[in-house]
Amino acid sequence: MTLFETLSKAPCDALTRCVGIDPTQDTLSAWGLDDTATGAQKFALTMLEAAHNNASIVKPQVAYFERFGAEGYRVLTDIIKEARSMGLLVLADAKRGDIGSTIDAYSQAWLGDKAPMQVDAITVTPYLGFGSLKPLLERAHDAGAYVFVVTRSSNPEGTVLQEHGSPKLWQTILDDIRTWEVIHGNKTIGAVVGATVPSDLKYALEQLPNAYFLTPGIGKQGAKPEDMKALTPDLKRIIVSSSRGLAAEGPEVTDIRAAITKI
């Protein structure tokens, strides 16, 4: 089943758990692993084992694999395949954003049965213009994949740009997403809105009542899962992701697994 179909069947009374897989240099060192693609692979496999039967989604941060070059991408490809074979949905945190044939080329890498790194969902950035994402969105629609559009991010550096104008720029992105839903249906597109800005997240949930939201900022950035539970009665639409906070509980699988259950 697609991400939309899987999550739509979940109970409404629980947040959707997402386990971030971020093999940072500091984390690998703390786990006693080499800062290499092999070390990243060992780390990622442990996170998958902990996530299995405890979370719906895993979210590898592409940059932390890409830093190892071709070998890192080989490891990432293997991790994606392993996760999907375990029944986990895979969300590539790639934040791709480009124009025309270039964004379509990115989409060919990630979306659809012929994609070498096929995932169930991907993050993209619309700040070259929402219309520039059209080729990727169309491919996602055809492939049954889901796209999370960075709308109101959790990093403070994004505030000046995203809150510019009246209406605010991030609010116009919500309008663009809603327009896409009207034309193409609501099974393809959602938004990234930081858990660190709960009032903005509440507004976004109201504006897009059928969409799913990736909500970064839980843990290290200060937001808490319990803060999300007052924002909507349909809690499954809020995908709560924790990456380094969970990794900090490792390297023992049982400890990571216990931390996941508290999300």
Q: Taking a C-beta distance cutoff of 8 angstroms, is the pair 54, 259 a contact?
A: no
* CA distances for 197 relative to 140, 156, 175, 206, 263, angstroms: 28, 10, 19, 15, 18
In 3D space, the residue among 87, 84, 59, 47 whose CA is nearest the CA of residue 257 turns out to be: 47
In 3D space, the residue among 151, 147, 145 whose CA is nearest the CA of residue 189 turns out to be: 147
* 58 vs 52: CA distance, rounded Å: 9
236 carries an active-site annotation: no
Give me the catalytic one of 95, 134, 168, 229: 95
What's 193-210 look like in SS3? Answer: ECCCCHHHHHHHHHHCCC
CA 181 to chain centroid: 19
Half-sphere exposure (Cβ direction) of 143: Cα atoms closer than 13 Å? 25
* 14 vs 229: CA distance, rounded Å: 8
| Residue 263 CB partners (closer than 8 Å, separation 6+) | 15, 17, 55, 218, 225, 240, 242
Would you call 100 helix, strand, or coil by DSSP? helix
* 238 vs 231: CA distance, rounded Å: 9
Catalytic residue positions?
95
